[in-house]
Every structure is written in structure tokens, then in C-alpha cells.
Amino acid sequence: MSVENRRAVLAGLAERVPALERLYRDLHRHPELSFAEHRTAGVLANLLTGAGYTVHTGIAGTGVLGVLRTGPGPTVLLRADIDALPVAERTGLDYASTARGVDADGREVPVMHACGHDLHATWLIGAAQQLAAHRDRWSGTVLVVFQPGEERGEGAAAMVRDGLFDHAGAPDVVLGQHVVPGPAGWVLTRPGVLMAATDALRVVLHGRGGHGSRPETTVDPAVLASSVVLRLQTIVSRELAATESAVVTVGAMHVGTAGNVIADSATLELSVRTFDEPVRARVRAAIERIVHGEATAAGSPRPPEITETAWFPLTTNDPAATEEIAAVFGEHFGAERATEAPLVTGSEDVGELARAAGAPLVYWLVGGLDPDQVLGAMAAGRFERDVPTNHSPLFAPVPHPTLRTGVEAMVVAALHRFAAPGVG
């Protein structure tokens, strides 16, 4: 697609940005948890209908698909996730969330768009509106997908199972993007593996409860859990080579109800991140071995239970397609803003859409924080301390130029894949 066409399709974006900012603030104020995104889905579906898309709602419960055909050419899927997290916001923004929701375990929790999915949805609406307003400048079919349940690693696969591709066929390419705590205005690409695979595990350790004054009559699950937590940290440090990468985090440990009562059981919640399948298999096997071994050593009355609570695949970009779009980004944004992405230990389920369609995936990152803050913290060696990242209650992307950058990136990437008008 020519530079002239690209500029033509982006015409009018500056005038659209104020409305996009209002949408972003509205979505941020009204976050909804995974598969409970009813208000969000309704707002986005109405905007797609207003832009001239054929809209399908209720896919996997709260998923939305917009379809726009302009002529012969490829089918391009543009995806954004729309769910929020059980986080109490502490940004101090005048549009900060005070929402509450009920999580998958039935608990009332605070809710915040702490991962930027409100931005992702706003970017995609902006891109969908630009493409629709200038539909005479490209030929093909665009599938605009607003996906629920990404934070649980289930939404993409659930939409596929519920017939996502039955409405307009499978796409020829899947495109998506994610805000990160990089300088606003930067766009980062990486061919091949971009984001880690995740295994979320729940471990239940069984003990024998009793009075806190008589530990000799018990098998104390608190001590057992502590031993397991410490031993799990040796997997990365002592069982993987220095050239291999993994993260094993115990994010939650629940045991007991009172200081003078030794409980019957303890529960651990684990998050495991890996970048290739052989390492993934070895880490999972090590977890099984350590958990069972420590339980045996403690004299547990019955074996531990290890349950997978969530699973994310590797996010792997098609090398050739990614290199092409990276070159287009470089041409459009300039080499100082279009740069290479690092490996990311966070995870995504967008790859399930590409896998199900048998299509290449191109997924990239967009910086969303004040450039002076980010670059200053990096220069001082304080990035990890001073810059709030995704999932932090302090994560607050700056609307400008983040909003416009994300819309432009999505439009530019989509146009690169579409045919020129009148070309089959």
C-alpha cells in the first residue's frame, strides 16, 4: 500500500482524537472483569455499528466481531482485549476507577484497567473508524475483534469455539498490539517469540491440624509450604542453564486461620513463565518433583494436589510478516520511534486466534508512559523501581501521544496487508 494511501486513510485522525480520549476515559472509569464485560461490549458494538460494520455480539459471552468488506482482497483480523483486573487503582487520575466486581471465585473485588486493555479497545475503535471512513482506499475484508477473558487466558480460544470464524471466514493474518511502560510514541516489534508461555498452578499441601501448643502431634502445612516455596526458587538458579530463561513465582500462600491453630492444609498459587517448550516441560516436571518430595519429607498424610488454573501459549510472531510490518513502521514513524522489542515475560492468548485460523501473527508493543520519566529512570538505573508497569495499581498511560500512536500503528499495519482498490 502506497504512502499516499496510508496518509489518505489516516486523514482526519487528529479531529477524531478528542472523542477517542473521551472513550478511553469512559472505559477506564468502568472496567469489567473477564467474561463480565457487558457494558464495555455494548459501547464498542454500538460504535462499530455507527461506523458501518456488520456487528456480531455475544461471542463467548461478551466478545464482539465487526465485519467490513470493501472488495476482493485478503481478510485481516484486528484484535483488542477488553477485560480488566482485580486491582484497586491508586493512580490519582480524575478518571480513576472505583468499580467493584465479583471474581471467578465469587469474591467481591476492586476492578481496574491496570493492563491497558481500555487503551487497546480505544485504539481498535479508532482504527476501525478510520478504515471505514476511507474504505475506498483499500480492498479486502477487515475483522475487528474485541476479545473478552484475556487475563484468564481463555478468551481467544473461547471465541473460536463459539464460532468466531463462522461469520466471515478465517483471516489471512492476525494483527494486534499491547501498551507497555515504554516511552509514549514508540512502537516495538520482534520476529519470532515475543512473549512467554504461562502455566498458572494451584498447589494444595495436606497436613494434620492441631493445637499450636502441641506441634509434635501435627504435620504443619505452614512449615511444609515454606519449604516448598524456598525449594521452588532453586529450579531457575540450579536446574536451568545460564542461557535458558524461566520465572517461577509463588504469588499467594494461604494457610491457617489463627495463631494458635495448626491448619490441615495450605494452598499455593504459582505463575510459571518460559520461552520454549523443552524448558517449559522441565520446569513443570521439577515443580511436580519438588512438591511431592517435600510433602513426603514432611510426612503428609496424603499426596499434594497440583491443578492447572490458567494456561497461555507462547506468543510467536511470524518472522517474515513481522519484518515487513517493522519496515513499514520504520518508514511511517521513523527509526527513532520504531525499534526492536525485548523478550517479554508477560503472556498473551492472541496467538490462539492465529493458530486456529492457520494464519501468521504479528503482535507488537506500543509505549504508553511519559518519555522523560521512562528514559530518565533507565539512564539512572532505576526503571524497575520508579516506573509502574502493567498490572500495577499505579499504571497510568498518558493519553497523548499514546492514543494516536496506537491507532496509526494498527491502520498502517492493516493497510500493508490489504490490496489496493480494484485489485483482486
* Active site residues per annotation: 83, 150
Which regions of 61-190 does DSSP assign to beta strands (E)? 63-69, 75-81, 100-102, 108-110, 141-147, 173-183, 187-189
Backbone dihedral region for residue 28 (phi beyond 0: left; psi -120 to 50: alpha; all else: beta): alpha
CA dihedral 134, 135, 137, 138 (to 10 degrees): 140
Say if strands 315-317 and 192-195 run parallel, antiparallel, or are unpaired: antiparallel
Cα separation, 220 vs 207, in Å, equals 6
CA atoms within 13 A on the CB side of 293: 11
Q: In what order do the strands lie in the sheet with 305-312?
A: 246-255, 265-274, 197-206, 305-312
Q: What 3-state class would DSSP assign to 406?
A: helix
Give start and end residues of each alpha helix (H) in 162-232. Answer: 221-232
> By the 8 A CB rule, do 168 and 140 touch?
no
For the record, the C-alpha cell of 42 comes out as 455494548
Q: Which residues are annotated as a binding site for Mn(2+)?
A: 115, 117, 151, 178, 391
Cα separation, 171 vs 162, in Å, equals 16
Q: Which residues are annotated as a binding site?
A: 115, 117, 151, 178, 391
Cα separation, 138 vs 127, in Å, equals 14
